[in-house]
Amino acid sequence: MNTTLHTLVMSRSGLASQRVRAAAVIGGAVLVALLAAMLLVRAVGASLPDALAAFADGAWGSAYSIGASINRSLAFALVGLGFVLANRAQLTNVGGEGQIAMGGMVATAVSLYGHVSQLPFGLAFVLPMLAATLAGGVWGAIPGYLKARAGTNEVISTLLLSFIAVWMLYGCVQSEALLRQPMTSGGTLPESLEIPDATKLPILSATSSTGLHIGLPITLVLALVVALVLARSRYGLHLRAVGLNAMAAKRAGMPIGSTLVSALAIAGAFGGLAGALMLQGDQYSLKAGFTSGYGFDGLVVGLLARGSVPGVFAAALLFGFLRSGGINMEMVAQVPSAIVLIVQGIVIVALAGASLWLQPKGSRA
């Protein structure tokens, strides 16, 4: 019994040591990335103190800035959660950008022309969200069906469908017959009308200055559901079995085709919901640049999370604060937007490289 107790204590100690090492390595990677970013800011001739002050002010300089950063991170988290779920079956969903575009288009159409603004009990903002989620799910199910029926590589199909969806969005905001606002002058921008106030996401607290909206608890609940499904449900077992060995799972009587389709459909639904949160909680009108790379950043969030739901939130918050700080740094300190993208890339590469040090020595290629 003493031997068993000693083994248990040692295993827990080893796990704690591994977590401390992981935190130290990731923290060091972020620090290296930030130092490199400072050198880049200096290289373009911008004032480093001004750039840092602008970044901090935009990311966490006020309660509103913190709330805006968290709200931005929700879209990354949703796409990342969908990626993690599908990846359990060894499916790689790179179509978050297109799924966000589909969600944004459908949420805009329902908000503006679905006659929902007068509905009671919060249905005015719920129905556009549900429609966007359904649209994203359908867009994700298409590559799932192709994978199950014809063996089509989901990386290629989800990526190509993203291009199709983004160009569909562009066409919608260019045509008055679709979603473009009426042209009253030559300076009318190619975008939709602003959605009605009733369809905008409610703020969590009217007395708070953070601006956090109802998308936060929705995302947290969905994250909990995903964690439970992956860890404790039959469906989670099916996903893992199909990912490890689809032939063996089929011989065991597991539904291979429906598992593949549903996994990518759920990932797409999360992307569509992300598009609804971006439209109804932040932008309020559909523009040609609506997706703004959020889908591809969400893909990176899912990759960095390495299958962990808490990891998704950690990476999503990092990207949300980076995005907010970068926007303010460009506006206030006149740091070129390309530098902001390079900074994000450095953080991604640094974290991806650091993850190699977290693997057991025998598993490193």
pLDDT, tens digit, 9 for 90 and up, residues 278-316: 999 999 999 999 998 999 999 989 988 889 999 999 999
| Whole-angstrom distance, CA of residue 161 vs CA of residue 97 | 9
User: 167, 169, 174: which is closest to 189 by C-alpha?
Assistant: 174
User: 201, 222, 224, 204: which is closest to 212 by C-alpha?
Assistant: 204
Burial label, 129 (beta-carbon count in 10 A; 0-12, 13-18, 19+): buried
| Whole-angstrom distance, CA of residue 118 vs CA of residue 214 | 19
Of all residues in the chain, the percent with pLDDT exceeding 90 is 65
8 Å CB contact between 131 and 103 = no
Segment 108-128 shows an average pLDDT of 95
Segment 106-120 shows an average pLDDT of 96
- What single-letter amino acid sits at 262? S
Which of the two residues, 355 and 73, has the higher pLDDT score?
73
User: What is the per-residue pLDDT for 102?
Assistant: 98
User: What is the per-residue pLDDT for 9?
Assistant: 47
Of all residues in the chain, the percent with pLDDT exceeding 70 is 89
- What single-letter amino acid sits at 252? A
HSE-up (13 A, CA, CB side) for residue 8: 5
Instruction: Tell me the two tokens of residue 333.
Output: 């300190």
SS3 of residue 311 by DSSP: helix
pLDDT of residue 113 exceeding 90, the answer is yes
Instruction: Tell me the two tokens of residue 105.
Output: 């288009």
Q: Sketch the domain layout of the chain as residue ranges.
A: 73-307
pLDDT of residue 163 exceeding 90, the answer is yes
Count Cβ atoms below 10 Å from residue 128 Cβ, excluding itself: 28
pLDDT of residue 22 exceeding 70, the answer is no
Burial label, 59 (beta-carbon count in 10 A; 0-12, 13-18, 19+): buried
SS3 of residue 191 by DSSP: strand
Segment 226-241 shows an average pLDDT of 95
Mean pLDDT of the chain: 88
Question: Where does the pLDDT of residue 3 fall: very low under 50, low under 70, confident under 90, or very high at 90 and above?
Answer: low
Q: What is the rounded end-to-end Cα distance, in angstroms, of the chain?
A: 39
